[in-house]
């Protein structure tokens, strides 16, 4: 269907078959944990034996949404209790990169719970530009959203953490990381690299510890602060970064006190900035436990060496 790799996600969830089946097959529960859909509505059947059709909508921001339809084209269970649910989906909206697609969900009982697997693929619009956009941006985003959603479902079924709570806490984590990243990047770029004469260079010169090397040291510090800020945007475990952040802030504050104590009576001085950033970081540490993460899911089919 597509020249790009199909999307595959696997997660082992410590629950029973009926609970995960209900959470994934009931549209009202499904839309709670799946980032890919805002609303899912089953359409009435004309006959009991016909496939279940549904409508879906995904809000993409700025008042825009993508709507489409789908159809469950088969559900089966084998003698080992493994269940498979297949579906196809499509949309006629010209703004949607996805034109049509299909895939399956597979539920396999294991000694650790239920191995929940999805594999799906789709055809895209916009020809070759659409293929490029899909390969390098949209498909990785869809894969990440699917894996994040599977882990959100896992936390709901294993730890009883409601998906709305997971989404809220993940949003808080994202805002904290973004703010800390922007502050570090700004502090490294503007007062150290672009405008060193605004005061940062004077602080090093007044310390008398780096005579003749103040400009070089200031430039190096600026680069390191920018790099550290960028780390908050990377898909890494953030708890360690929050601890490192507080340690660095403490060191910079002590250094500023020793070099020029008078700056701490000025408005918007290093103490206020340090306390604000350390406070954000501490909230991040507290909030970090049991956050959904795409890294907790398997993203490659076993035996796929590519």
d(CA 157, CA 178): 30
Segment 180-198 shows an average pLDDT of 89
Residue-wise pLDDT for 94-142, tens only, equals: 999 999 999 999 999 999 999 999 999 999 999 999 999 999 999 999 9
Segment 177-204 shows an average pLDDT of 85
Does residue 247 surpass a pLDDT of 70? yes
Phi, psi for 19 (deg, rounded to 5)? -70, -45
- Model pTM score: 0.85
Geometric angle at alpha carbon 237, from 236 and 240, rounded to 5°: 120
CB atoms within 10 A of CB 168: 12
CB atoms within 10 A of CB 286: 8
Does residue 305 surpass a pLDDT of 50? no
Q: What integer pLDDT is reported at residue 163 of this predicted model? A: 97
Does residue 204 surpass a pLDDT of 80? no
Written out in words, the top-level CATH class of the domain with range 7-161 is alpha beta
The H-assigned helical ranges of the chain are: 17-25, 27-33, 127-133, 139-159, 163-188, 200-207, 214-231, 238-259, 270-287
Which tokens is 171 given? 């949003």
Average pLDDT, the chain: 89
For the chain, the domains span: 7-161, 169-287
């Amino acid at each position: 269907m597509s020249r790009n790799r199909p999307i595959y996600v696997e997660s082992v969830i410590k629950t029973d078959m009926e609970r995960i089946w209900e959470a994934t097959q009931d549209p009202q529960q499904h839309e709670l944990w799946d980032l890919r859909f805002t609303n899912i509505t089953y359409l009435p059947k004309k006959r009991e034996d016909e496939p279940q059709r549904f409508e879906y909508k995904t809000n993409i921001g700025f008042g825009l949404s993508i709507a489409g339809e789908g159809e469950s084209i088969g559900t089966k269970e084998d003698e080992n209790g493994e269940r498979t649910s297949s579906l196809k989906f499509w949309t006629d909206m010209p703004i949607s990169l996805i034109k049509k697609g299909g895939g399956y969900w597979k539920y396999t009982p294991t000694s650790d719970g239920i191995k929940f697997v999805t594999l799906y693929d789709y055809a895209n619009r916009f020809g070759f530009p659409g293929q490029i956009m899909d390969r390098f941006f949209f498909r990785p985003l869809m894969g990440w959203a699917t894996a994040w959603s599977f882990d959100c479902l896992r936390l709901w079924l294993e730890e009883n953490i409601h998906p709305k709570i997971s989404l809220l806490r993940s949003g808080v984590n994202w805002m904290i990381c973004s703010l800390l990243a922007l502050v570090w990047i700004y502090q490294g770029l503007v007062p150290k690299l672009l405008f060193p004469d605004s005061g940062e260079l004077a602080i090093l010169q007044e310390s008398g510890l780096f005579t003749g090397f103040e400009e070089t040291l200031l430039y190096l510090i600026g680069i390191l602060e920018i790099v550290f800020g960028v780390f908050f945007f990377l898909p890494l475990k953030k708890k360690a970064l929050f601890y490192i952040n507080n340690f660095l802030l403490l060191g910079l504050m002590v250094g500023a006190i020793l070099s020029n104590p008078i700056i701490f009576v000025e408005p918007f001085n290093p103490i206020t900035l340090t306390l604000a950033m350390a406070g954000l970081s501490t909230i991040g540490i507290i909030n970090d436990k049991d956050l959904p993460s795409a890294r907790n899911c398997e993203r490659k089919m076993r035996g796929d060496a590519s």
